[in-house]
Chain A
Amino acid sequence: MRLNPSILNLDWVEVEQKIKNFIRDYVSKAGAKGIVLGMSGGIDSSTTAALAALAIGGDKVLGLILPEKETYNKKEIAHAENVAKKFGLKTELIEITATLESFYNSLPIFDPLDNVCKGNIKARTRMIYIYYYANKLNMLVGGSADKSETMMGYFTKWGDVAADIFPIMDLYKTQVQRLAKHLGIPSEIIEKPPSPTLWPGQSAEKELGIKYELLDLILYGLEHFMQTDDIANQLEIREDLVKKIKQRWLSTEHKRRVLLAPKLEYRTVGADFRLSRHYFYY
């Protein structure tokens, strides 16, 4: 296998169709009225929102724009609203600063300088807002995680990757970029540097220490059982870097699996039960 950017090419018409079928099918089997998702103005949530609207109709998709004081950015809000307008979905904007501050103030050990712990409160607070709407309006929560950040564990546990379905989770970031282009997501959204925006100036590539173009090829190689030295040789990079990425991928599996319990009894939740995601009452 030769690792180069063209290996990540897919038939985007077919991919769009498969994802739309998946969304339509899941929403209808769950008996839900639609999909609610958080919209940051970034490429992943814009692409997911667009796919949801194309799949089940914009009137059944609600995008929640949930800004807060520290990372407030008019441009990001405008990006989210543009996508909503273009694909005909509804949005609601809720300022969450007051909620966040009550969390900060009520935590006896709160450390304002710890960006990560504080940022995770933001992601989890947004999750609570989104699930309230889902609950109240009988909708499903659409997750926007892509394969690159999911494999890297680059997300907040029980925060942004708390959702019912993940339409683009099997696509690497640079594949999402190609799909977004195919769907007609505005280019300023596709081209801006990705960021979870948990604190001002946060950059995904800076934090991961690698550009997505390279990361995605390394992950693709790992996904296909390639050896780290082979990946490094092909991409003309140091094997250390590939090993570091591999280690990060493997050491974050706990964030991607749920419900780990010690095995004590006959059939154990998480470890033994193999059940369908839908219960069939016939």
Chain B
Amino acid sequence: MKERVRIALAQISCKRANKEENLKKMEEIVKKFKDQSVDLVIFPELSLTGYVVRDQIYELAEIIPGPSTYAVEKIAEKTQTHIIFGMPEVSEKTKATIYNTAVLVGPKGYIGKYRKMYLPTHSVFEEKRYFRPGYQSAVFYTELGRLGLIICYDIFFPEVSRITRLKGAQLIVCISASPAVRKTFFEILTAARAIENTTFLAYVNLVGIEDGLQFWGGSRLIAPSGRVLAKAKYDEEDFVICDVDYRDIKPIETFVPTLKDLRPELFDELKKCAEHL
């Protein structure tokens, strides 16, 4: 397993409902990074289709692994790069059960997926109308270290990142499609999740305008200390390469020993309180 991993935050805008174009774009970007020894390229939430596709989601969703993940696997194999991206996933068993999913593929093929647990359905968001929530956190033990996946609104719920961390994640990857009015929340919460879990956190947000929603970008890599190690531009496409050095976790874990100090008995109380809100 590598101690030092080079990642690329691929902050793109998407062609809505056009998987072919978006896959082409992903391929071009991953190929471009190949010369810069990038190990992992991260694309935003629903980057295969765009975020605001509404009823077209039923035509666009695919099983995983399926045609689009095969296409991304090929890119990963050709470039010997790991890739994380987002797509609507349809259940193999039913035809209209769709998940908002993050997919991880590597040079040797498909590695795994994470289905978004918290689906915003308020304000401009309609996710529960279309998606079924996921029920499992996801951490993958890879040659690039232990990678945890979360998606956008999950970051408002510390338990998702916490479980991911407790299952071993050294780098939590949060892919996102966050519109501009939510910028402040994410800037704070991304740092908070990294600090409280003493873990690296890579946040990759969409840009562009979809049906009046402007996504703000601002993708970033945050160190376990909360320091922003790299940051992409606001509001426009940008690609940032940065290095994750897992050896930096230990010193901060001793300095801010949140995991050592965990109090599991409080979780029972938390559960009870949440059930009787």
Contacts and interface: CB of A to CB of B under 8 A. Distances in A.
B235 A276 contact: no
A277 B211 contact: yes
Interface string A11-39: 00000011001100110000000000000
Interface in B21-66: 21, 52-56
A273 interface: yes
A210 to B, nearest CB: 28
A282 B126 CA distance: 25
Contacts of B54: 274-276
Interface stretch (B12-20, B163-171, B253-261): B12-20
Contacts of B21: 282
B214 A276 contact: no
Contact of B55 (A18, A21, A273): A273
Nearest to B55: A274
A58 to B, nearest CB: 22
B210 to A, nearest CB: 8
A22 B211 contact: no
A131 B180 CA distance: 32
Residue among B15, B18, B55 with max Cβ neighbours from chain A (10 Å): B55
Contacts of B210: 276
Nearest to A18: B214
Interface in B172-193: 180
B18 A22 contact: no
Contacts of B214: 18, 21-22
A21 B235 contact: yes
B95 interface: no
Given A280-B16, A282-B18, A282-B21, A18 B180 contact: yes
B212 interface: yes
A21 B211 contact: no
A165 B56 CA distance: 23
Interface residues of B, number: 21
Given A21-B209, A25-B209, A275 B235 contact: no
B209 A276 contact: no
B108 interface: no
B4 interface: no
Interface in A68-82: none
A282 B49 CA distance: 13
A22 B17 CA distance: 19
Given A21-B214, A22-B209, A276 B53 contact: yes
A282 B17 contact: yes
Given A21-B214, A21-B235, A280-B18, A274 B180 contact: no
Interface in A235-282: 273-278, 280, 282
Interface in B200-226: 208-212, 214
Given A18-B180, A282-B17, A282-B21, A276 B211 contact: yes
Contacts of A282: 15, 17-18, 20-21
A276 B17 contact: yes
Contacts of A22: 209, 212, 214
Contacts of B56: 275-276
Contacts of B209: 21-22, 25-26
A25 B210 CA distance: 9
Interface of A: 17-18, 21-22, 25-26, 273-278, 280, 282
28 contacts: A18-B180, A18-B214, A21-B214, A21-B235, A22-B212, A25-B208, A25-B209, A26-B209, A273-B55, A274-B54, A274-B129, A275-B54, A275-B55, A275-B56, A276-B16, A276-B17, A276-B54, A276-B210, A276-B211, A277-B211, A278-B211, A280-B15, A280-B16, A280-B17, A280-B18, A282-B15, A282-B17, A282-B18
Given A276-B52, A280-B18, A282-B18, 15 more contacts: A21-B235, A22-B209, A22-B214, A25-B208, A26-B209, A274-B54, A275-B54, A276-B16, A276-B53, A276-B211, A277-B211, A278-B16, A278-B211, A280-B15, A282-B15
